[in-house]
Amino acid sequence: MDQYLPLVVMFVLAVGFVVLSIGTSKLLAPGRPTLAKQAPYECGIVPTRDPARRFPVRFYLVAMIFIVFDIEIIFLFPWAVLHRELGLYGLLAVIVFIVPFFLSFLWEVAEGGLDWGPVTASRPLGVTTEPGRTSTSTIRLVGLDGREQVPLGVGAGDADADGREGG
């Protein structure tokens, strides 16, 4: 236990320094908040618009997939070095290790997590997550309040100023 005494003393001193510093700054610092002080600082550039409220979740999904596959590759190095000594058991262990990652990657591709920008219109696996846009779904979403009913087959350019069809 005597070996850990310097470590415990250093930890107590570090925590005490942090608490003392924060407490001193709270007590001695003037508290005069203004709009300029509370506004985000952007390297001296006055912000002309509000910052974006939402960030695409797909970015984080792609980043996590990248990290998971990097870790998977790091764990495959020992097997690659010793694959002859490990034999069939080593091969089966690697397959059991790889299959969940591969299935999650296939699911991510099928869900469109890797589709960015204009590529989303032509999905590689043909899986769509949104129904096609039709006139009935658009009318249901937008509504007909304040709009005049136009009979089917009559377009905006088909009628004269009097409302009669041209010929």
- CATH label of the domain that carries residue 119: 1.20.58
Cα four-point dihedral sign 70, 71, 74, 75: negative
Tell me, yes or no, whether 103 lies in a domain.
Answer: yes
Domain housing 80: 54-128
Which pLDDT value is given to residue 167? 47
Amino acid at 145: D
Whether the CB-CB separation of 109 and 124 falls below 8 Å is answered with yes
Query: Percent of the chain at pLDDT above 90?
Result: 14
Which pLDDT value is given to residue 11? 96
Amino acid at 157: G
Which pLDDT value is given to residue 15? 97
Whether the CB-CB separation of 132 and 116 falls below 8 Å is answered with no
Higher per-residue confidence, 124 vs 76 = 76
Tell me, yes or no, whether 35 lies in a domain.
Answer: no
Tell me, yes or no, whether 136 lies in a domain.
Answer: no
Number of domains in the chain: 1
For residue 127, give both structure tokens.
């899986």
Confidence (pTM): 0.36
Higher per-residue confidence, 136 vs 32 = 32
Tell me, yes or no, whether 98 lies in a domain.
Answer: yes
User: What is the maximum alpha-carbon separation in the chain?
Assistant: 104
pLDDT band, residue 69 (cuts 50/70/90): confident
Tell me, yes or no, whether 75 lies in a domain.
Answer: yes
Tell me, yes or no, whether 116 lies in a domain.
Answer: yes
Tell me, yes or no, whether 40 lies in a domain.
Answer: no
Least confident of 80-89, 105-114, 157-166: 157-166
Tell me, yes or no, whether 163 lies in a domain.
Answer: no
